[in-house]
Each structure stands twice: as structure tokens, then as C-alpha cells.
Chain A
Amino acid sequence: MTRYIIRRLIQAVPLLIAISVIVFAIVEIAPGDPAQMYVDPEKGADPEYIAQVRRSLGLDQPVYVRYVSWLAKTLQGDFGFSFRTRRPVALEIGDRLPNTLLLGGVALVMSILIAVPIGIISALKRYTLIDYILSTLALVGISVPVFWVALVLLQVFAIHLNWLPGVGMRSVRVQYEGFEATLDVIRHMILPATVLSLAQTASWSRYQRSSLLEVLGQDYIRTARAKGARERRVIGLHALRNALIPMVTLIGLSVPSIVTGAFITETIFGWPGMGRLGVESINGRDYPIIMAVTMLSAVLIVVGNLLADIAYAWVDPRIRYD
């Protein structure tokens, strides 16, 4: 197992290098001279001065030299400075990443808690009215655009009923302390977390349904029934535990769609996370942040895939990697 993990980690290295080359190339051929971003407007367009800035930034070096030095710095956690705020990129990301992980984590847990029971009910009541209704609802949930659901929920719960705050992560006007502050964040989180978890919940409930159906057709279920185990025990002990195995993989593989969802959801709800930072940095042509956010998202996706495979081997004794 350890050898497998190490091998996978080594395989991830060329993967991330390839992605970094792509990202670097895009920023490289993007319009606009990065030196202009650092030029002191006081000294204006004096070519001598701009050339000096270029030299000090290392922009006069050939592309591959700059790529290697960028990569070396990135590996040491030095992502450079944001063009807009002039703060180190690492600090900007450090401010935002925990908020994204919090929102994504809560959405993930919500999805599991809702999708698993729905899938179980659908599978146990297969081909009944309730199964059709739940399956159709799941398809609707996959089909409705995330940002539209966000707009509808904003309209209903934040504007019309005024039950929940629609923007940001904390109340601006009031300073809460201790437990009150936590409650404030939770209230702000309800709408974006719901939106972020919706598509996931819908598709997972379908996976859970088919996974349980498959397990219920297995021989050991027939054996359990034949030896007289009660239905509750057959489902709860024999079937469900095995039916949950594919879900473990799904969670790891859902990282890309959660990352994608974060860009949209955080932007609409003004959630101060990495996704919103990414969209803001694109609008502001803030290349150091753009590169850092892309690389970080790629790392999250690679780690998610790896965790999915490891968790799969861990919960399913039939699978052994070596």
C-alpha cells in the first residue's frame, strides 16, 4: 500500500509539471506587458526606466529561464506579488483558501447526508411512484444551471422573505463575538452551501441507487436471506456497507466539480474564497494570482483522485494495489 501511494505521488509530479507549463504558456502569450504593472506611474513611459524594471523583474531573460525560476520559486511557496493589492500571493490565497475549504466541506457533507438516504429509498422501492419521483427530481437537479438556482434562492430567501443573508460570509454592520459569530457564519453559509451541493446530491443519489441495486442482486444477499436474517439486518448490515463503497470514490472524484462550482457560487454570493479571488483576478488581469489559483486547483484535483483510489482500497478488501 505504501509503495502504491509513493508510486502515485511520483506519477503526479510530471502531471503537475505539464499543467504548470500550460498555465505558464497561457500567461506568457497573454496580451499586456507585465512590466507595465510594476512601473511607477510618476516616472511614466521613459523607455530607459521601463527597461530597468524589466531587468530587475528578470523579464529580459529567455522564456525557459523564466519558467524554471518561476517553478523554483513556486515550489518554495513564493508565488510573487499580486498586481492589484501588491501583497504576496501566498498571503492572498492564505486568506481565502480556508473559506473555500469550509464551504466546500460543508457542501460535501450536506450532499452525502441527503444523497445516501435518497438513493437507498429509491433502490428499496424500485419501480414505484416514489422511485420515479426521486429519479426525476435527481435529473432535474443535474439539469438546472447552478447560477440560476442561486438567483432563485437569493430572490426567495434573501430578498423576498429576508430570512437569510445573501452576500458575504459575515455581517458587516454588527460585530458578533464567540458563539454568535459562528452562528452568523452559518447563516451566511446556508444558501451558498445548498447551491454548491445541489448537483452533487442529485447525481450521487442516482449512483447510490444503482450501487445498492447491484449489491442486492449478489449471492451473499440471497444467502443472508436464506439463512433467515431479518430484512432490516440484510439491508443495513450486508447490503448497505458494500453499497457505500463506490460512494467513497465518488467523493474524491468530485473535487473538480466542487472547484468549478466554487468559482460560480462564490462569485454570486460574494463568498470570500479562492473561487471568487480567481474570477476577480481574471477581470483584473492579475497574472500571479491567476497562476497560483490554477496550480492550487490542479493540486486539489490530483490529491482528490489519489485519496479516492487509496480510500477505495482501504474500504474494499477485495482491492489490493501493489
Chain B
Amino acid sequence: MTETTLPLALEATRPTPQWKLIWRQFRKHRLALISAVLLLLMGVMAIFTDQLTPYDPNANNTAYARGRPQPPSAEYVFGTDNYGRDYLSRAMVGARVSLFVGITAVIFQISIGVTIGATAGYFGGWVDNLLMRITDIFLSIPGFFLLLIISGVFGGTLLTLIFLIGALNWMTVARLVRAEFLSLKGREFIEAARCIGVPGWRLVTRHLLPNALAPIIVAATLSVPYAILTESALSFLGLGVPPPHASLGKMLEEAQQWLRTAWWMWVVPGAIISVIVLSFNFVGDGLRDAFDPQLRR
């Protein structure tokens, strides 16, 4: 008697994990993939900037520069400024400041936005009304000018700059999270969770927030460019990152005097800001597609 075993196709029925589906879709967006790799490289470079810079970014070499910016050469790949400071090293430090300000400001702004949006969407009623009126007020504030005023009048540190960029830009995320919560609240699985007695806090953190995560991540990625551009614009107007730090915006401000003669002084920092911002925009674009189940084939 031969025994026949039916092969149970357990392996095949196991669903593909969510992150794998997302990754599969993200990979299709060629530019987003390249941008993500580029940003990772820049992140590593930012962490090890102190070890990687060929020169001390603040060391003058007046004998080499003789009061004029020196063009790129074998020694100084991106040239020097009029004090003979190595432009590559300064650009690396500046890129680190930009990335740091951009990412931390966005983490801060997302935390405010999620807290306010989640509170408004979960409780509804007068809480929702009050919080949305506050959001309206912040949306009507000329944020950039207020930033200019505060950093111009009070001066400020890197931390206050991050705090202010975050505090003036959380509104979009708050509205987004609120809308997500309002639409999720009526779904069956939330009702089911309520029925089996899941407490409110757990309902928010385990059931509502995870389902609203995709738009939050996309919004966060697409907010980094705004924060970076704001920081560099402030620094460009002479009101951003305070003096001891190098910043890409400040390098462009200094380059204004040498527009005619020293092209590398404005090309290098401007190109670096653009590449960072563009990469974040591409990654955000790719993530949005990747999170969209309708686009998966």
C-alpha cells in the first residue's frame, strides 16, 4: 500500500508582508531609488564629516588666497573663498547643517501635527473645533516673515531655528491626520475594537495611527525640502544659522560679492542644496506611489 501525501501549499498562501510590497513598488521609481541611495550616502557623510573633510573648514590660508577666492585646483577641489578656506570642507559642513536642520525640524513639526491632528480627529466636537481654529490662525501667519523677525530681532541658535521652523509648519500634517482619523473612526474594525473594550489610548496608538502612517511618512519626506529651503533662505538673508556654523545659505550670501569673478563660490553651495532638496522630493514622490495600493500590479 502506497501512501500518498497531499502537498499542503502552506508556503504559497502566506501573504507577502506589507513592507515587501511597498519596497517592490518603490524600486520601480528609478529616480526615487537613486535619490534614496544619494541621501543615504550624504547621511553617512554628514555623520563622519569631521573625519572626511580634507581641511579644517574654518582655517584661513591667506598666503594661498591673497584676498581673492581661488579657483578649483588639485589641492582644493572646489576652490577656496577669499580667506583661503577650503570650499569643499565648508560645503560638507554646510550640507550637514542643512540635513540636520531639515530632518530635526520636520521630526518636531510632525510630532506637533500628529498630536494636534489626532486629538482633534479622535475627540471631535468642541475639541476639534478649537484645535482647527488654532490651525487656521497659524495658517494665516506670514510664517517666513515671522521667522525673519524673530531671528533678526532676538538673534538665535541652531535649536531655536529648528524649533521655529517646526512650530510654524505643523498645520498641513495636523489637517491630514485629522482627516484620516475622521474617516477611519467610522470603519468596522474600529467599531469592533471598541466593542471588545480596547481603551482609547490603545485605539489611537495601535489601530488609528498605524493606518494613518503612510500619508504621514509621505508628508514628512516632502516637508524636509521646505525646512531646508527655509533655513538656507534665512541664512542667505543673513538671519539664519548663527556665525560659528557654516551653512550653504550663508555661503551663497558671501558669494554675492564675488558673482562676477568666482563662479564656484555660488555654483557649489547652490547645486548642493538643489540636489539634497530634489532627492527628498523624488523619494517623497516614490513613497507616495509605493504606499498607493492602486498602483501595485
Q: Which residues of A contact B (CB under 8 A)?
A: 14-16, 18-19, 22, 26, 30-31, 136, 139-140, 142-148, 151-152, 154-155, 159, 256, 259-260, 263-264, 267, 278-279, 282-283, 285, 290, 293-294, 297-298, 301-302, 305
Given the complex, which residues of B lie within 8 Å of A154, measured CB to CB?
259
Residue in B closest to A304 when the chains form the complex, CB atoms: B140
Interface pair B142/A26, CB less than 8 Å apart: no
Interface pair B259/A139, CB less than 8 Å apart: no
The secondary-structure label for the interface of chain B is helix
Instruction: Mark interface residues in B119-161 (1 if CB within 8 Å of A CB, else 0).
Output: 0000000000000010011011111111011101110000000
Known: A143-B274, A147-B252, A278-B148. A298 touches B237 (CB 8 A): no
Kindly state whether residue B270 has any CB partner on chain A within 8 Å: yes
Residues 258 to 279 of chain B near chain A (Cβ within 8 Å): 259-260, 263, 266, 270, 273-274, 277-278
What 14 new A-B contacts, CB under 8 Å, besides A16-B140, A278-B145, A298-B141? Answer: A15-B137, A19-B140, A26-B150, A143-B277, A144-B270, A145-B236, A147-B249, A148-B252, A151-B256, A282-B152, A285-B153, A290-B149, A301-B142, A305-B140
B: interface residue count bin: 35 or more
Which of B39-47, B60-68, B175-183, B225-233 lies at the binding interface? B225-233
Q: Which of B143, B232, B285 contacts A145 (CB 8 A)?
A: B232
Known: A259-B145, A267-B237, A282-B239. A148 touches B150 (CB 8 A): no
Interface pair A298/B266, CB less than 8 Å apart: no
Residue in A closest to B153 when the chains form the complex, CB atoms: A30
Interface pair A19/B141, CB less than 8 Å apart: yes
Given the complex, which residues of B lie within 8 Å of A279, measured CB to CB?
148, 237
Interface pair A302/B140, CB less than 8 Å apart: yes
Q: List 7 A-B contacts (CB under 8 A).
A: A15-B140, A26-B150, A145-B277, A148-B270, A256-B143, A260-B145, A283-B152
Taking the closest CB of chain B, its distance from the CB of A312, in whole angstroms, is 17
Q: Which of A136, A145, A256, A267 contacts B142 (CB 8 A)?
A: A256
* A151–B268 CA distance with the chains assembled, in angstroms: 13
Given the complex, which residues of B lie within 8 Å of A145, measured CB to CB?
229, 232-233, 236, 249, 252, 270, 273-274, 277
* A302–B266 CA distance with the chains assembled, in angstroms: 37
Given the complex, which residues of A lie within 8 Å of B109, measured CB to CB?
none
Taking the closest CB of chain A, its distance from the CB of B96, in whole angstroms, is 17
Question: What 7 A-B pairs have minimum CB-CB distances, sorted nearest first?
Answer: A297-B142, A148-B270, A282-B152, A143-B278, A260-B144, A143-B277, A30-B153
Kindly state whether residue B287 has any CB partner on chain A within 8 Å: no
Known: A143-B277, A145-B270, A145-B273. A297 touches B285 (CB 8 A): no
Kindly state whether residue B291 has any CB partner on chain A within 8 Å: no
Known: A144-B274, A159-B260, A260-B144. A26 touches B149 (CB 8 A): yes
Residue in A closest to B230 when the chains form the complex, CB atoms: A260
Given the complex, which residues of B lie within 8 Å of A148, measured CB to CB?
252, 266, 270, 273-274
Given the complex, which residues of A lie within 8 Å of B149, measured CB to CB?
26, 282, 290, 294
Interface pair A282/B148, CB less than 8 Å apart: yes
Given the complex, which residues of A lie within 8 Å of B144, measured CB to CB?
259-260, 263
Interface pair B142/A294, CB less than 8 Å apart: yes
Kindly state whether residue B218 has any CB partner on chain A within 8 Å: no
